[in-house]
Amino acid sequence: MFRLVVLVLAAVVITPVAAQPEPLWPGSPTDAVRAYLDGMITLAADPTLGAGARHGAARLAVAETFDFAELSKRALGEHWARMTGRERADVTEGIRAILTAVYTSRMGHYLGAGFADLRDRVHFVGESISGRAATVTLSVSYAGKDLPLQLALLRRGRGWRIWDLSVDGMRLTDNIRAQVARLSRGGDYGELVARLRARRETLIAATPPSARSGSPSQ
């Protein structure tokens, strides 16, 4: 499940780029993406962190990078308008927990990928800004191919948060929409939330105990 998510989070969020100075907010959307990348690189490369601390920090980094409320709203489309505030909050939390669990469960695998060899794989192509919305375009070298990548961001306060991404024509929100439809199986939103929670617990159970220990509860 969420193979696209794993691909993108592994190839983009962890892939090293040339070191950049930390931007002074509000900064540009590209500055924000560079800062997110650099933060994840520092986290992945820190030899003082144990598995539990590293995964706990990764959860925090993902939470600070993505706008899960906007992502959930766009992914659920017309269903969002029919949901109560509590239902929206529960579904958003379920999606956030699943994506975070997917990322953190895979992080250990990519830590050993040899970061020095990946340093030149991300290329920033450009950005466009319209009010509070922005798009950052990149090219990512992955598995012998140059994949076009677009990140959709919204200004939140003095910073930018990612709410969608498209890699090689496949959108994260479309992927989530399909997965949510599969999980709901025609049931009500309460059933959907229960299934999201069950899926999260399955992912956590599949994570090695050494990676779970020391991680903050969600």
DSSP state of 170: E
Q: Per the structure, how many domains does the chain have?
A: 1
Domain-located, residue 38 = yes
Nearest Cα to Cα of residue 134 among 1, 63, 29, 13: 29
CATH code of residue 40: 3.10.450.710
Answer whether residue 196 is part of any domain. Answer: yes
Would residue 157 count as lying in a domain? yes
Question: What is the Cα–Cα distance from 110 to 192, expressed in whole angstroms?
Answer: 31
On whether residue 217 sits in a domain, the answer given is: no
pLDDT by 10s per residue, the chain, length 218: 344 444 444 444 433 333 344 443 458 999 988 888 777 667 766 777 777 777 777 778 788 889 999 999 998 888 888 888 988 898 888 888 877 777 766 655 555 444 444 556 778 899 999 999 999 998 878 778 888 889 999 998 888 999 998 887 888 888 888 877 776 666 677 777 777 777 767 766 665 555 454 444 44
pTM, to two decimals: 0.74
Is residue 45 included in any domain, yes or no? yes
Is 128 contained in some domain?
Answer: yes
Domain that holds residue 200: 3-205
pLDDT score of 203 = 64
Domain assignment present for residue 78? The answer is yes
Place of tokens 């579904």: 91
* Residue 97 forms part of a structural domain: yes
Give which of 87, 96, 92 is closest to 188, Cα–Cα: 87
pLDDT for residue 206: 62
Strands (E), 168-206: 170-171
Beta strands of the chain (E only): which ranges?
A: 122-130, 133-142, 145-156, 159-167, 170-171
